[in-house]
Amino acid sequence: ETGVTQSPTHLIKTRGQQVTLRCSSQSGHNTVSWYQQALGQGPQFIFQYYREEENGRGNFPPRFSGLQFPNYSSELNVNALELDDSALYLCASSLRFSQRLEQYFGPGTRLTVT
């Protein structure tokens, strides 16, 4: 059973640029959730993807968007980067519509916006 993987590990971007982060879900899982974790804070829910569609969204602007692919992997895209977007971005995979509520996290992508 493979765990959740994310790429890249670290990324430095300039304000106004766009970024794409990638996540491969744990084998057997069909749902991917994305979280933003600012320094010294708990993770904040961005959105969740199930069956290639957004299924729930937190308090994040539309410039945060995502995709889920048929193999359940996912991308997080952020347009028009702002300095406050600097954070650790975590993805978590889970098995929706089962009795299993557990979400398993990847190691994260550290994004720095300068």
Partner 1 sequence: GENVEQHPSTLSVQEGDSAVIKCTYSDSASNYFPWYKQELGKGSQLIIDIRSNVGEKKDQRIAVTLNKTAKHFSLHITETQPEDSAVYFCAASGHNQGGKLIFGQGTELSVKP
- The bridge status of strand 87-94 relative to strand 109-113 is antiparallel
Query: Rounded distance, CA 105 to CA 42, Å?
Result: 13
- Give the ranges where 1-114 is alpha helix by DSSP (H): none
Among 48, 68, 74, 109, binds partner 1 (CB under 8 A): 48
User: Contacts with partner 1: how many residues (CB under 8 A)?
Assistant: 25
CB of 36 to partner 1, least distance (A): 11
Question: Are 66 and 89 contacting, i.e. CB atoms less than 8 angstroms apart?
Answer: no
Q: Which is nearer to partner 1, 14 or 42 (CB)?
A: 42
- Tokens at residue 73, please? 């992997």
Among 24, 25, 26, 31, binds partner 1 (CB under 8 A): 31
Cis peptide before 8 (omega within 30 of 0): yes
Q: Which is nearer to partner 1, 14 or 99 (CB)?
A: 99
Question: Are 37 and 21 contacting, i.e. CB atoms less than 8 angstroms apart?
Answer: no
Q: Which is nearer to partner 1, 83 or 101 (CB)?
A: 101
Is 106 a binder of partner 1 (CB under 8 A)? yes
- Enumerate binding residues for partner 1 (CB under 8 A): 31, 33, 35, 40-45, 48, 55-56, 58, 90, 92, 94, 96, 101-108
